[in-house]
Structure 1
């Protein structure tokens, strides 16, 4: 199987990126080609709720060029994902279909929790997090994903609409008033349901990803640990915020050498990183110089190389994610775990009859763990409450369609069967 040439495409809110690499083993690769095209899909989406025609034209053109490079470089497998701009836009599905039709690329919009899972996989390839607790922050153009990793496992993750492009719009609407913008940031960060472990500062480290933090590390002359990870002191980040605030975007381009599409968003991005680092008491920020495109690539190759081990890990992640969600709604954990084990046993014993796969096993596990979660709202009709609570929640690694399926399995755990008149 190896060497294997693979590629990842990240269709973000501020740019579209391509990474092509050759893998000698599932976790060792050398970069063949890296490209970035500054297409700001998020700008119009965050104002009007949909992608505009001109920007879609530019995006399709960039993806068509990426497809040509993938073919020219004889890539064996690729995965293309889209983040907040596409998943939030009213015409996102039309865009995905157009990309398939005109660029011959299968584009997959992913949830914020799936984005966090993939970024975390990339970060763990650079920073060992096998013990203690770590906070990971990935700031894109349209959203920020904040995760808590304990003993190498992601135990909590939230996605919020605090991306750099979106926040730039907020800053511009405030007339550049930084005090007003800081109050807005406080409102945003106060909505984070961060575990007490992180809020009390009981963490081993704080890692951040995204093009803005990489640029800030360069501006702050952040030293490298020798493993490709830069260390940016939070105090130095505050000094850089003051410097950036004193310059216009044009001056940042002229004096600091920033690209125009980076110069305008870097100030609000820097303020988000600083606010989150301060929230958990981090005196330094580790910058691993990897992100979503590396995570997509590693996940793709791991899936190809070690399918069963990968499926087992995804099953465990689903189990952990469902437990975390259930605890948020004060579910009966011993009962839920017992039901999940019984359901798994029946699933495995009846495999020859139902011929369902690993994905179905994970969906059943989540449904079994959360089937009584609706009792948090009311014991009466709790199965119906479970339906909407599960369907409106996120679990890392699960698509919205998979969450909806798990929600319906939970909804019908009592006597009734699905019927046309059911909501």
Structure 2
């Protein structure tokens, strides 16, 4: 089966086309990327401009043509921070549907983190039973702790390379005062994930998406000039980013203007404009979590979307009543515990709802996916009490969506 996923990010739009035998076995047929800057001004103003929507729709249409030329059976399009934070997101979704025929799904930050975690664990886990992945996008940064292939701790913070650049950096090269403000903003934004992940253990740390891959590539190319051919050939998949090397890299980038950064091998012209912010977000995250070494990973949200869809299709083909706890619900439990839900009560409500579902599933042709959605709703139905008892159902919706 051939599938395609389109990742609509704040800085770029990316396509992957795969041919899959199963959720853990697929071959990548094509990858495409186009810098659209959908999040330019959006993350600051909260509004997607008509020009940005037009650029994005045109790119998505082109990617659909590429996918169809490869014979795909399904195209999945997902959008992240730039659309998630825009008050005219519905306008964007409608325009893309009208122009391309593709309906875009806007992901919550936690769902984005979950899908990225699935991808990193499957594509770059290298046999590790536990992995912490960091993904720095244009408008947000996601943290995914994955144990035995299952995301168990997920965080999404509104801190991205594009948004931070637009918000705090106006000088070129960046002046010390602005750099201090950037570091303070990063420290404040990462306080919660660093506090809640502190003390947890993982065997491997990985990093995904453009900023981290660019940093890794720039460090790799710089190192190549100092090693022998045999050492170059021995490099494994991915590149290790060491915190001391990253510190020196960030110091170099901050001392250059944009034109000078464009000349650094591994840093593209577009990336040169946001690499100061992106590199400092990465350094801040690694220091906050005491990560000395991180390995880059070229699997990310696109691949996670594919893996997730294939798993859903596999689940649909099985009987509606599962014989084990759905792994997707482990992430739901993690959200519930984070906001102090009454676990015993939530389990009781979910068990009762599942019992009713199981008695009706075959009669109404309901699937395992429907059961998972019902279970998740039952587990989180009282989540809003974390904010207030009055209108707690509305507060629950807010917490789940954000």
TM over 0.5: yes
Q: Which residue of 1 aligns with 2:290?
A: 281
User: Gaps spanning 5+ residues in structure 2: where?
Assistant: 224-231
Matched residues in 2 for 1:373 and 1:31: separation?
40
Which has the larger displacement, 249-258 or 141-150?
249-258
Please name the residue that 2:307 is paired with: 298
The 5 A counterparts of 1:304-343 are 304-308=313-317, 316-343=326-353
- Structure 1 match to 2:56: 59
TM-score of the two chains, using structure 1 as the length reference: 0.82
Find the aligned partners of 2:216 and 2:315 in 1 and give their Cα distance.
Answer: 35
Matched, 1:239 2:248: yes
Return the alpha-carbon distance in structure 2 between the equivalents of residues 180 and 313 of structure 1.
52
Shift of 1:262: 0.5
Q: 1:351 aligns with which of 349, 361, 371?
A: 361
Q: 1:64 to 1:158 in 2, by over 3 A?
A: same
Distance 1:329 1:17, change over 3 A: closer
Residue in 2 that maps onto 1:148: 145
Equivalent in the alignment of 2:90: 93
Shift of residue 306 of structure 1? Answer: 5.0
Q: Equivalents in 1 of 2:385, 2:108: separation in Å? A: 26
- Is the 8 Å Cα contact of residues 155 and 193 (structure 2) preserved in structure 1? yes
Question: Does structure 1 residue 186 correspond to structure 2 residue 187?
Answer: yes
2:14 equivalent among 17, 21, 25: 17
Q: Secondary structure at the match of 1:43?
A: coil
**Aligned residue for 1:121?**
118
User: Take 1:286 and 1:392, find their aligned partners in 2: how far apart are those partners?
Assistant: 35
Q: How many residues align?
A: 387
Q: Counterparts of 1:338-417 in structure 2 under 5 Å?
A: 338-351=348-361, 356-373=366-383, 382=389, 384=390, 386-394=392-400, 400=401
Question: Is 319-328 or 277-286 further displaced after alignment?
Answer: 319-328
Q: Compared with structure 1, are the counterparts of its residues 148 and 31 closer, same or farther at alpha carbon in structure 2 (3 Å cutoff)?
A: closer
Q: CA deviation at 1:313?
A: 11
Structure 2 residue 116 is the aligned partner of structure 1 residue 106: no
Q: Is the 8 A contact 2:117 2:133 kept in 1?
A: yes
Aligned residue in 1 for 2:198: 199
Task: Tell me the TM-score normalised to structure 2 length.
Answer: 0.86
CA pair 164-337 structure 1, distance change in 2 beyond 3 A: same
Deviations 1:307-366 (A, max 9, x none): 356986997345323332332343432343233223312221243566654444334323
Partner of 1:80: 77
Structure 1 residue runs without a partner (length 5+): 395-399, 404-423
1:44 to 41, 45, 58: 41
Aligned residues of 1:64 and 1:103 also touching (Cα < 8 A): yes
1:64 CA drift (Å):
1.8
Change (3 A) 1:327 1:35: closer
**2:399 counterpart SS class:** coil
How far residue 298 of structure 1 moved from its aligned partner, in angstroms, is 2.4
After superposition, the Cα gap between the structure-2 partners of 1:235 and 1:173, relative to the gap in structure 1 and judged at 3 Å, is same
Q: How far apart are the structure 1 equivalents of 2:125 and 2:209?
A: 19
- Structure 1's 182 and 106: CA in aligned 2 closer, same or farther, altered over 3 A? same
1:388-423 deviations in whole A, cap 9, x for unaligned? 3421223xxxxx4xx9xxxxxxxxxxxxxxxxxxxx
Question: In the superposition, relative to structure 1, how do residues 300 and 205 fare at CA in structure 2: closer, same or farther (>3 Å)?
Answer: same
Structure 1 residues 224, 52: CA separation in 2 closer, same or farther (over 3 Å shift)?
farther
Q: Does residue 1:171 correspond to 2:168, yes or no?
A: yes
After superposition, what is the alpha-carbon deviation per residue over 1:218-272, rounded to whole angstroms, capped at 9, x for unaligned?
Answer: 1111789866232221211111111111111110112435322100111111111
| Alpha-carbon distance change, 278 to 330 in structure 1, aligned in 2, over 3 angstroms | same
SS state of the match for residue 58, structure 1?
helix
Distance 1:249 1:63 in 2: 29
Alignment of 1:206-217 (within 5 A): 206-217=205-216
Residue aligning to 2:227 = none
CA distance, structure 2, for counterparts of residue 52 and residue 334 of structure 1: 47
The separation in 2 between residues aligned to 1:51 and 1:318, in whole angstroms, is 32
